[in-house]
Amino acid sequence: MRPAAEGLRLLCVVVLGTVTALIGVAFLLLALPFAGHPAVRRASRRLAALEARRLRLDPAVLGFAADPPDGRELRYLAARVPVGVLGGLILVLLTYCVGAALVITWSWGRGLPVDGMTPSAPLLAYFVLAGVVLLFLELSGLVGVHTLERRLAVRMLGPDPTETLRRRITELAESRAGVLAAVDSERRRIERDLHDGLQQRLVALSMLVGRARRGRPELLAQAHEEAQQALAELREVAWRVYPSGLDSFGLANALAGVAERSAVPVKVVCEPPARLPMAVETASYFVVSEAVTNAAKHARATAITVEVRERDTMLIMRVQDDGVGGANPEGGGLSGLARRVAALDGRFRVDSPPGGPTTITAEIPCG
């Protein structure tokens, strides 16, 4: 059923492309004398954007939608006219062949000759074989036209390869700097947790043990409690550094641990079909863990939902809370998560209107 639906969609795309090619011819005849006028460039951009959407190409990904009109849209509309006409000719031939097959089938089914030919086994075999070959050639032509249209759009509307390479180098340099900043920030946070929490508790424990040795045995129970709390804080800091269960049991188990340790009820839905690359699992864990921690500390949330799903080649994480909203994406915690995701060529988005809810979405390539 799916190949049939995909074939029907392809047929509709080529048919629509033929129609838009004829519209493009009319537009070019009217617009070419005024090619440099801003209104003509804006109109050609809109038409090019419609063509990109017809071909399932995001104008923002191609790059031309964010740049000022520079005439390439008009050149693209002119270049795609022959391809659209070619698609129209293939459609005409396909329609003619299908119509001829239906007429022959209907006539022979009623026992009527067609152009003096009466049905026989060799003639039927010949027509079936010829029909299959023609159908294959015509469908191949439709696929070829569609592929040619997509390549033409990417080639003429996409950014210059040299400029793309420059942008990529800039992005890599920024993500590298961001990763270094995130690592330094994480180290400072761990040092602060150790100094302000665990170290102070161990000092208090040492003092209690010293007083107990000087003849205050009733303080041993308090010292034991302090030792238990220090051990719990040490485990918490260790989990923040790196969750040991992630290597052994996978992402789902590690996220279940995040939900158990959270002060706010957390519902986790984690559906990756198999183990993912370690870098992807590690980044995903820290994104969810930090997002849950932020929601519990700052959002005054009463419930948090975590969804981790794999779609095509992307691992998609979505953390939503019912708190007060107003989260700042440029804040230390969220900006660090954005840098961590960007280091893996992922995308990070924060949607937090005043009054809530806050939704944090991260997408990381699985490969």
Q: What is the pLDDT of residues 287-309, one digit of tens each?
A: 888 888 888 888 888 899 999 98
Residues 318 and 54: their CA atoms lie apart, in Å, by 29
Lowest mean pLDDT of 46-55, 88-97, 155-164, 220-229, name the range: 220-229
What angle do the packed helices 332-342 and 161-193 form, to 10 degrees?
Answer: 130
Residues 315 and 134: their CA atoms lie apart, in Å, by 43
Residues 305 and 147: their CA atoms lie apart, in Å, by 41
Using CA atoms of 124, 125, 127, 131 in order, give the dihedral in degrees to the nearest 10.
130
Most confident of 4-8, 118-122, 167-171, 346-350: 346-350
277: nearest Cα among 179, 367, 341: 367
Predicted pLDDT of residue 1? 46
What percentage of residues in the chain have a pLDDT greater than 70?
74
Residue type for position 320: Q
Lowest mean pLDDT of 8-22, 43-57, 219-233, 266-280, name the range: 219-233
Predicted pLDDT of residue 128? 80
User: Which pair of tokens denotes residue 209?
Assistant: 């043990």
Name the band, by pLDDT with cuts 50, 70 and 90, for residue 338: confident
Predicted pLDDT of residue 134? 86
Alpha helices by DSSP H, 110-120: none
Q: What is the mean pLDDT of residues 344-352?
A: 87
What percentage of residues in the chain have a pLDDT greater than 90?
8
More confident position, 61 or 360: 360
**Model confidence at 13: pLDDT above 60:** yes
Predicted pLDDT of residue 320? 92
More confident position, 57 or 171: 57
The per-residue pLDDT for range 162-210, each reduced to its tens digit, is 767 787 777 776 666 666 566 656 666 666 666 666 667 777 767 767 7
Distances (CA, A) of 35 to 50, 83, 108: 19, 22, 57
Predicted pLDDT of residue 306? 92
